[in-house]
Amino acid sequence: MKLENCYWGYGDKYSMRPENWPSHLKTTSEKLQNVSLSCLDFEDLINQLPDDYFLFVDPPYFQADQNKFYSCFFSLEDHERLCKTLKKHQHRFKFLLTYDNCSEIREMYDWCISLQDNEWNYTINRTDDQKNGLKLEHGYQSERRKGKEVFIANYDLEKPARFTPLQLSLFDGY
């Protein structure tokens, strides 16, 4: 995301209160244990992933104003290369991919098992406009913007994941 298009700062109505930051950071830190972050071209990363991996992919939107929203954006060739790379490795691991919901992406990924439409509100209904300095007392009331994406997967998104529960006994081995 380009910094000039981001809204920054603390606001009582829409930010986590500062006294909650320490516990939130602790919880987040605990959840990120054993997570590795990489900074590679997606094709290099995908090629070196071990089998039976789960990969979440959130590439730049296909139809977005690339120069406005992304400092590093995808060309048409990048979108096609991602599709080709995921298709090549589709039997090695599971992936969930999120994209803007458009016909070009749906056609590109028509080989996948699941394409699921998703729509939600991007932000809560804010009563002020940070960028333009408009406030409720000035008569401003913002609207909730709808996000429309497609979730694409090489597995059935409708079926719950099946795990074999492991029950240990105090008497195993006796």
Instruction: Enumerate residue ranges in the chain where pLDDT < 70.
Output: 1-14, 65-70, 121-145, 160-174
Residues 66 and 1 sit within 8 Å (Cβ to Cβ): no
Residue length of the chain: 174
Report pLDDT for 53: 86
**125 is a domain residue:** yes
Sign of CA dihedral 42, 47, 50, 52: positive
**64 is a domain residue:** yes
**6 is a domain residue:** no
Report pLDDT for 169: 46
**28 is a domain residue:** no
Report pLDDT for 140: 54
**164 is a domain residue:** no
Report pLDDT for 73: 79
Report pLDDT for 145: 64
Domain that holds residue 78: 50-158
Report pLDDT for 43: 95
**45 is a domain residue:** no
Residue-wise pLDDT for 86-131, tens only, equals 999 999 999 999 999 999 999 999 999 999 998 876 554 455 555 5
Report pLDDT for 120: 73
Count structural domains, the chain: 1
Report pLDDT for 31: 87
The residue written with tokens 């809560």 in the block is 124
Residue 73 sits at φ, ψ, to 5 deg, of -115, 170
pTM of the model: 0.67
| Measured distance CA(75)–CA(78) in Å, rounded | 5
**95 is a domain residue:** yes
**10 is a domain residue:** no
